[in-house]
């Protein structure tokens, strides 16, 4: 009942030309796929060109970040309305690389979510624990704190616009993946927390993606888990063949 989502986080990779070529090939090769939602998160500079390519398709397009103020003198930042204007439907918020390298705290993440929703962007919120937190047995606490702080003041009418990506930080770009069972355990905790914050029906409908070294050879076992509804993919989304095999994991 929850349509699987396969999302590509291209991070700070590719030239505009390379992004265009990849987006064109993805668009052509996935034209007959109706049982999944595909979302591309290119870098800001690639967004207008990629938007042109996907505009008559069902492929979603998102920014990897957004600023929490609406408009004005914030040199170097990108506003939600500008993402929308450039063709975005989605935005990634709270990625661990943003939290760690750019010191985005709970409050920043919450303000960004409120701003993005006000601009009618769908939000993919990333949560996940570090290796140290996992080893200290506080994974559940970290994930619950991240969810509760992120969704402060988010109205229940906005739930259709939200996705969660559970990305254990120690699994991102490292080749290590959580076992499907371990990942599913955290996804269940996330859904339970969403039930508490919102309600059971909404939590049951929300897509919770797994991210962290998802590859063609491990996606199937992850997607077989009851509470894993998709994948947010970095490295393996940069090559056409591997991204297509991720999208076609069940064929
Ligand atoms: P990875 O990145 O697939 O390269 O581990 C995932 C992410 O950071 O979204």
Please check whether residue 63 is in contact with residue 47, taking contact to mean a CB–CB distance below 8 angstroms. Answer: yes
Give the mean pLDDT of 188-198. 97
Lowest mean pLDDT among 124-133, 152-161, 183-192: 152-161
Ligand 1: centre distance to CA 174 (Å): 9
Q: Can 167 be counted among the known catalytic residues?
A: yes
pLDDT at position 175 is: 86
Does ligand 1 have an atom closer than 6 angstroms to the CB of 242?
Answer: no
pLDDT at position 178 is: 86
Catalytic hit among 104, 133, 146, 167:
167
Does ligand 1 have an atom closer than 6 angstroms to the CB of 232?
Answer: yes
Name the class of domain 5-247.
Answer: alpha beta
Q: Which of 215, 233, 236 to mutate to test the pocket of ligand 1 (most atoms within 8 A of CB)?
A: 233
Ligand 1: centre distance to CA 8 (Å): 9
Say yes or no to pLDDT of 173 above 90.
no
Please check whether residue 208 is in contact with residue 229, taking contact to mean a CB–CB distance below 8 angstroms. Answer: yes
Q: pLDDT tens digits for 196-245?
A: 999 999 999 999 999 999 999 999 999 999 999 999 999 999 999 999 99
| Structure-token pair, residue 231 | 């994948």
Share of the chain above pLDDT 70, in %: 100
pTM strictly above 0.95 = yes
**How many other β-carbons are positioned within 10 Å of the β-carbon of residue 173?**
12
Give the mean pLDDT of 174-191. 94
Confidence of residue 160 (pLDDT cuts 50, 70, 90): confident
Does ligand 1 have an atom closer than 6 angstroms to the CB of 172?
Answer: yes
Beta bridge partners of 90: 62, 122
Q: Following DSSP, what letter does each residue of the chain receive, concatenated?
A: -PPPEEEEE-TT---HHHHHHHHHHHHHHTTT--SSEEEEE--GGGHHHHHHHHTTSS-EEEES---SS-SSS-TT---HHHHHHTT-SEEEE--HHHHHHS---HHHHHHHHHHHHHTT-EEEEEE---HHHHHTT-HHHHHHHHHHHHTTT--GGGGGGEEEEE--GGGTTTS----HHHHHHHHHHHHHHHHHHS-HHHHHHSEEEEESS--TTTHHHHHTSTT--EEEESGGGSSHHHHHHHHTTT-
Residues 6+ apart with CB under 8 A from 237: 7, 8, 9, 10, 243, 246
Instruction: Please provide the average confidence, as pLDDT, over all residues in the chain.
Output: 96
Does ligand 1 have an atom closer than 6 angstroms to the CB of 96?
Answer: no
Q: pLDDT tens digits for 134-150?
A: 999 999 999 999 999 99
Does ligand 1 have an atom closer than 6 angstroms to the CB of 213?
Answer: yes
Give the mean pLDDT of 50-65. 97
Q: What residue segments make up the domains of the chain, in order of their start?
A: 5-247
| Structure-token pair, residue 190 | 């996330």
Please check whether residue 247 is in contact with residue 30, taking contact to mean a CB–CB distance below 8 angstroms. Answer: yes
Q: Can 100 be counted among the known catalytic residues?
A: no
């Amino acid at each position: 009942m929850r349509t699987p989502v396969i999302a590509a986080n291209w991070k700070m990779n590719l030239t505009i030309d390379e992004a265009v070529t990849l987006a064109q090939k993805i668009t052509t090769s996935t034209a007959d796929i109706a049982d999944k939602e595909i979302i591309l998160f290119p870098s800001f500079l690639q967004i207008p060109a990629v938007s042109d390519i996907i505009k008559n398709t069902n492929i979603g397009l998102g920014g990897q970040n957004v600023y929490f103020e609406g408009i004005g003198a914030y040199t170097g930042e990108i506003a939600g309305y500008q993402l929308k204007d450039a063709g975005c439907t989605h935005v990634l918020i709270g990625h661990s690389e943003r939290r760690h390298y750019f010191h985005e705290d709970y409050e920043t993440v919450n303000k960004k979510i409120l701003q993005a929703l006000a601009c009618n962007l769908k939000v993919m919120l990333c949560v996940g624990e570090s290796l140290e937190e996992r080893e200290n047995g506080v994974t559940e606490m970290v994930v619950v704190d991240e969810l509760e702080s992120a969704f402060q003041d988010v109205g229940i009418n906005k739930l259709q616009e939200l996705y969660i990506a559970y990305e254990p930080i120690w699994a991102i770009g490292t080749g290590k993946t959580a076992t499907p069972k371990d990942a599913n355990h955290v996804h269940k905790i996330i859904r339970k927390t969403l039930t508490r914050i919102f309600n059971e029906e909404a939590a049951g409908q929300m897509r919770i993606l797994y991210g962290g070294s998802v590859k063609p050879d491990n996606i199937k076992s992850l997607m077989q888990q009851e509470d894993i509804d998709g994948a947010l993919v970095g490295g393996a989304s940069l090559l056409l063949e591997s991204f297509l095999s991720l999208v076609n994991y069940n064929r």
